[in-house]
Amino acid sequence: MSSLTITPQGPLRGTVRVPGDKSITHRALILSALAEGPSTITGYCKGQDCLNTLRCLQDLGISIQELPDSLQVFGKGLWGMTEPTHPLDCGNSGTGLRLLTGVLAGQDFFSVLTGDDSLRSRPMGRIVTPLRSMGANIQGRKGGELTPLAITGGALKGIEYSSPVSSAQVKSAVLLAGLLADGPTTFVEPLLSRDHTERMFRYLGIPLEITGRKLRLTGRTPFQARDLSVPGDLSAAAFFLVGASIVPNSEVQIPNVGLNPERTGILEILKEMGADIQVLNRREQAGEPVGDLLVRSASLHGTSIGVERIPKTIDELPIFCVAASIAKGDTTVTGAQELRLKETDRIHAMATELRKMNVSIQETADGFIIRGGSKIHGAACASYGDHRIAMAVAIAGLAADSPTGIEDTACIDTSFPGFYPNLLELLTSSR
């Protein structure tokens, strides 16, 4: 177990580079493995979640060379994977496990997917149900609702599926299975979720019809490998966007950040709250919009977030709660019950830890009510083994009146190795 002590030290100043986008890295690895031929992935996320997906692919017979600044993946085509000799451990990554389940459902061998204690408690029925309707043979605890998942792969058939939830992980699992299925696969979701998979399909030349919230894919079409450049992770950048906004006299530059329009909810909401954030040098990189961010401290005011904005903001809500705690006035979040099904119950975790820091925050069934503007006190806090909780509390500690201690912070490495040294460097640069 590791811990951090955050001591308020004044403004954040300088430039910080955030890790490659975690969501895109998972997809780049998996689709490069299914492609025909070698490809190079640059800018990838080196967090444990993505490295676990990399190891799983290696255990499935995919050759991946780890170079200092890139990965070289030797794709073996849609059916080039081989049966693993032991269970595939996805660690803490729900994205890795759910996407790999879609791929393994169509492979002609037996495999088992598992993860850590947190991942083994997260819902898998939302992917198992559509995959079973495609012909997949998937068994698991509680009828396939929980991992480990045992998959006897084989021939799949395309389906038409209307998802009851807006989830990029569900959508991607079905689309990846659809690549291996006979006939067309159609997927419809109630609200648009992030579209990294769709963009990467188009970049790799995989035929995909998109009509609003409806996707249609014809499977069993091989595709050639292409080099992929992964932009910086906006979810990681969000911690510094909030930190620089709430600590007076701060100015931070964050270059090369992914600006996928289905991910930019946190940017839009912070600006509505009064944040001083500029997007510079907009461009496109491997099918994804990218830009450089410049953020300066500003006075924030409360706001409201409803269900329609949750898919674009879900991963950033823990750090958003910190911004709302400092902002003047009330903030409400509704329709965010999905937060209770993440690495931990993030609604309960953020409410509990911020209350320790003198924040007036009320936990509701599907979100929060936050009365901002209270003086933040330093406190002894917990991470719940959740990387986003740990980093959010660390940023809150920057605005406190005394040091804040956070226990069990090794989890930060699942998405942002180097978070604390980067934070210290920004604080040192201000002196």
DSSP, residue by residue, 227-241:
-EEPPBPHHHHHHHH
Give the pLDDT of residue 372: 96
From residue 24, alpha-carbon distances to 44, 134, 201, 258, 409 in Å are 8, 25, 12, 10, 24
DSSP-derived 3-state class of residue 71: strand
Distance, in Å, from the CA atom of 108 to the CA atom of 136, rounded to the nearest integer, reads 11
Q: What is the reported pTM?
A: 0.89
Q: Are 379 and 357 in contact (CB under 8 A)?
A: yes
Q: What pLDDT is stored for residue 9 in this prediction?
A: 87
Give the pLDDT of residue 83.
98
Tokens for 151, please give them: 């998959």
Same topology, domains 3-20+231-429 and 22-229? Answer is yes
- The closest alpha carbon to 304, from 324, 333, 325, belongs to 333
Q: Which residues touch 200 (CB under 8 Å, ≥6 apart)?
A: 24, 27, 28, 31, 228, 286, 287
State the pLDDT at residue 1: 53
Query: Got the DSSP string for 371-424?
Result: EE-PPPPP-EEE-TT-HHHHHHHHHHHHTSSS-EEEE--GGGGGT-TTHHHHHH
The answer to whether residues 100 and 93 touch, using CB atoms and an 8 Å cutoff, is no
Topology annotation, domain 22-229: UDP-n-acetylglucosamine1-carboxyvinyl-transferase; Chain (3.65.10)
DSSP 108: S
Say what the pLDDT of residue 10 is.
Answer: 86
Active site residue 182: no
Please choose, from the candidates 173, 225, 166, 216, the residue with its C-alpha nearest in 3D space to the C-alpha of residue 193.
Answer: 166
Domain ranges of the chain: 3-20+231-429, 22-229
For domain 3-20+231-429, say whether CATH 3.65.10.10 is its number. Answer: yes
Query: Residue 67, SS3?
Result: coil
Q: Which of 116, 292, 315, 386 is catalytic?
A: 315
Q: How many CB atoms lie within 10 A of CB 193?
A: 24
Using only the alpha carbons of the chain, give its radius of gyration. 21
Paired sense of beta strands 304-305 and 184-188, if any:
unpaired
Q: 10-residue block means of pLDDT along the chain (431 residues)?
A: 88 96 97 98 95 98 94 98 98 96 98 95 95 97 96 96 94 98 97 93 96 95 97 97 97 97 95 98 94 98 95 94 98 96 94 98 97 96 96 98 96 93 89 68
